[in-house]
Amino acid sequence: MGELIPIVLFIMLGVIGWAFFYYAYKGKHELQETIQVALEKGQQLSPESIEKILQSQRTPSADFKRGILLISLAVATGAFGLLDPFGHDIAGVSLLPLVIGIGYLIVWKFSPKDA
């Protein structure tokens, strides 16, 4: 029974990763279909309007949100690892999302705030 826990963990990580990339692809595909339908109906899309559409897909606070989410995940995972008597390995793994989250916050801090 104990060996099922890591197997389920890695399967769930795979499912979460697949869902993330699938829905990101699906959103981009729907945006392209919308632009294609607009062009087929004869509407003119200037380069400025296309640029605006593409910029609206990424908000300026996206890096901040991702950073906070990853740091929260790291804190929760680390706390779980420290509270569990056999979970010190999990506490070490929590450093990965922590460092990535800090990186996102650094990118957010030094990115231009045009919007």
pLDDT digits (tens, 9 = 90+) for 88-113: 777 788 889 999 999 999 988 988 77
Number of domains comprising the chain: 2
pTM score > 0.75 for this model? no
Q: Measured on CA atoms in the order 114, 27, 74, 99, is the torsion positive or negative?
A: negative
pLDDT tens sequence across 36-85 = 888 888 888 778 877 777 766 667 688 889 999 999 999 988 888 888 77
**Residue 93: its pLDDT value, please?**
84
Answer whether residue 24 shows pLDDT above 80: yes
Domain, as residue range, for 94: 59-115
Using CA atoms, how far residue 106 sits from 16, 27, 43, 109, in Å, is: 25, 27, 41, 5
Residues 1 and 40 in one domain: yes
Query: Where does a domain end: 57, 80, 98?
Result: 57
